[in-house]
Amino acid sequence: MLNISNLTYRIGARVLLDSTDVSINAGHRVGLVGRNGTGKTTLLRLITGELSPSEGTIDVPRRWRIGITSQEAPHGPKNLVDTVMAADRELVALIAEAETATDPERIGAIHMRLADKDAHTANARAAVILAGLGFDEGAQQKPCDDYSGGWRMRVALAGLLFTQPELLLLDEPTNHLDLEATIWLEDYLKNYPGTILLVSHDRDLLNRSVDEILHLENGKMTLYKGGYDRFEETRSMRLEQNEKQRTKQNAKRAEMEAFIARFRAKATKAKQAQSRIKMLEKMKPIAEHHEEGSISLMFPEPEQLSPPLVNMERVAIGYDGRAVLSNLSMRLDNDDRIALLGANGNGKSTLMKLLAGRLETMSGEFSKSGKLRIGYFAQHQSEELDMNATPVLEMQRRRPQDSETALRSHLGRFGFGQQKAVTKISSLSGGEKARLLFALMTISKPHILLLDEPTNHLDMDSRQALAEAINAFEGAVVLISHDPHVIELTVDRFLLVENGRAQNYDGDLDDYREHLLGNSANRRQGRRDDGDRSRGEGGKKDDRKRAAERRNALGPLKKRLQQAEKAVAGFEAERAKLRQTMADPKLYGKDVGKLLDLQKQLGQIEKNLANAENDWLNLQQEFEKAEAESVEAAQ
């Protein structure tokens, strides 16, 4: 058991952890959550001993090895399998000693320890982990130095997982992963034999891979049963109950204070007054809960263009005369919401660059609207920011024709108030820099948003705000993300980019997850003998056919349900925007006609929203019924 007792940690005058306690049982998988800056990474460093607590204790069983995600990428001439195996220093030392040892007793002890560590499967285990994180057999044999920093961080994660420490501390492990590797990691962690403490802003990862949530807030830790969705529900109920108790206590306190004020000076009531004074002194106030300011994002609305915005026929693209993708045929319309699927290195970012106008076609026909404006977000763009500038100055450099008032107003859409707008970019957090990039890419009111891993460095609330902003946006969106939750909330169409092609993928994310994990399971199990395979092939083929038929039958209904959800979100966004306009005090007393028009618009939107919600509810019930019938038929 990991036992934390009365833990306090101070940074100067600031108390980050305040006399807090928690116990985590062996074998439990726990997600560590909390707003940025609350001390999640600090807690992990305290557990490893890298930092020392100001007060309190952290007790870890002596036999437990602790492993934590590395901040440094491995390097060197060794191939990836050998690099991963080298992470287990004891294993490497034992293998080396086994080749030179001469003492019979020592040789026996070495081989017993090697057997305990399953040394005979070490190479295969390293290869399986690397494959899950996106390295095929050929890639695994290349020197580590051949890879970029992001890919080598994957190798570092592979090395950590290979060592299988009894206590696994993971700090944002999906930051350098794509969707495919993230899905593999979800499945791997679900079956991990040790204890896990996982820091992540990935809601799906926290729902699928852990069985408890440890919430860090105001210096205190609270442990909740279940995944992230259940944590949110339970915490919301606790806060509601806490507020009721606080209101009740305040009423009781006011009643007692009134009694004391009225009867304190009267001899006949003095004892009762004194008694109430003592009760007040002993009454511990229930603190009012204050949520930190929520993040909101709002992409400006573009004027509508005639479709298609982009059209391509039999296009080939690549670098240095070598095609990465070929035979591309697709079009983008105003209402498209597309996610690109496929492992890193297959050409998703290459396709994005073509759409962004940063890459020319090698062959084929490519056309786009003459008035088309594109907003492009890429992971590396934060490196192009001037760290000594401020958000306002960066905006002025790119839009010198716009007034400072207009630029500040635009920054306000992305959470940059008066003070943050003039803060040096070097002082902004990773999430704030990402929001600044959103502001910069949308200042021209683009018709298409190209978002290549936009959720890196965004916390849970910011990711939710991004999803809402995408749904409210009037133009087209093409998204690459390793966050399944954001994808599911925002897109209604998938393109699978692999084997030099980009083709429509008819399933949903659950289908894609099953597809990936099925392939991963096949790699782990290896090939079965031909006889077993031939005996089971006919039945499996029929099962797959029946499963596909059931998915196809549910597909149109699911798309209608997704469209209904988008309609509800759109009307909610319109209502919020109109209410914000009507909240302006300057509107009242001046233009009565405009106010009446706005009120009529609000009434119509409320009516549309009610109808849309009713449609959504009916479709949801219809879909759940059809899904239940499909499951029953499958059994």
Looking at the domain assignment, is residue 172 inside a domain?
yes
User: Residue 537 has what pLDDT?
Assistant: 44
What pLDDT, in 10s, does the model give residues 145-154?
A: 998 888 999 9
* 552 and 628 both lie in a single domain: yes
Q: Is the pLDDT of residue 121 over 90?
A: no
Distance CA 6, CA 221 (A): 11
* 141 and 184 both lie in a single domain: no
* 123 and 209 both lie in a single domain: no
* 263 and 314 both lie in a single domain: no
* 465 and 398 both lie in a single domain: yes
Percent of the chain exceeding pLDDT 90 equals 41
- Domain membership of residue 36 as a residue range: 1-65+165-226
Contacts (Cβ under 8 Å, ≥6 apart) of 48: 66, 68, 169
Distance CA 450, CA 353 (A): 9
Looking at the domain assignment, is residue 15 inside a domain?
yes
* 349 and 423 both lie in a single domain: yes
* 178 and 208 both lie in a single domain: yes
* 169 and 254 both lie in a single domain: no
Looking at the domain assignment, is residue 517 inside a domain?
no
What pLDDT, in 10s, does the model give residues 19-58?
A: 999 999 999 999 999 887 788 999 999 999 999 999 999 9
Instruction: Compute the average pLDDT of residues 313-328.
Output: 92
* 427 and 561 both lie in a single domain: no
pLDDT band (50, 70, 90) for residue 627: low
Looking at the domain assignment, is residue 512 inside a domain?
no
What pLDDT, in 10s, does the model give residues 345-380?
A: 889 999 999 999 999 999 999 999 889 999 999 877
Q: Is 208 in a helix, a strand, or coil? A: helix
What pLDDT, in 10s, does the model give residues 219-272?
A: 999 999 999 989 988 888 877 777 777 777 777 778 777 777 777 666 666 667
Q: Chain-centre distance of CA 407, in angstroms?
A: 29
User: Residue 110 has what pLDDT?
Assistant: 87
Looking at the domain assignment, is residue 384 inside a domain?
yes
Distance CA 246, CA 283 (A): 12
Lookup result for tokens 């287990």: 88
Give the DSSP per-residue string, 155-205: HHHHHHHHH--SEEEEESTTTT--HHHHHHHHHHHHT-SSEEEEE---HHH
Q: Is the pLDDT of residue 521 over 60?
A: no
Counted domains in the chain: 5
Last residue of a domain, one of 203, 226, 249: 226
Q: How many CB atoms lie within 10 A of CB 135?
A: 25
Last residue of a domain, one of 442, 472, 506: 506
User: Residue 238 has what pLDDT?
Assistant: 77
Looking at the domain assignment, is residue 358 inside a domain?
yes
Q: Is the pLDDT of residue 530 over 60?
A: no
* 474 and 555 both lie in a single domain: no
User: Residue 257 has what pLDDT?
Assistant: 78
User: Residue 19 has what pLDDT?
Assistant: 92
User: Residue 269 has what pLDDT?
Assistant: 62
Q: What is the CATH number of the domain that holds 477?
A: 3.40.50.300
* 356 and 430 both lie in a single domain: yes
User: Residue 132 has what pLDDT?
Assistant: 92
Instruction: Please give the structure tokens belonging to residue 10.
Output: 């101070």
Looking at the domain assignment, is residue 348 inside a domain?
yes
* Better-scored residue on pLDDT, 84 or 13: 84
* 468 and 571 both lie in a single domain: no
What pLDDT, in 10s, does the model give residues 477-502?
A: 999 999 999 998 899 889 999 999 99
pLDDT band (50, 70, 90) for residue 532: very low
User: Residue 538 has what pLDDT?
Assistant: 47
Looking at the domain assignment, is residue 518 inside a domain?
no
Instruction: Compute the average pLDDT of residues 161-186.
Output: 92
Last residue of a domain, one of 95, 124, 152: 152
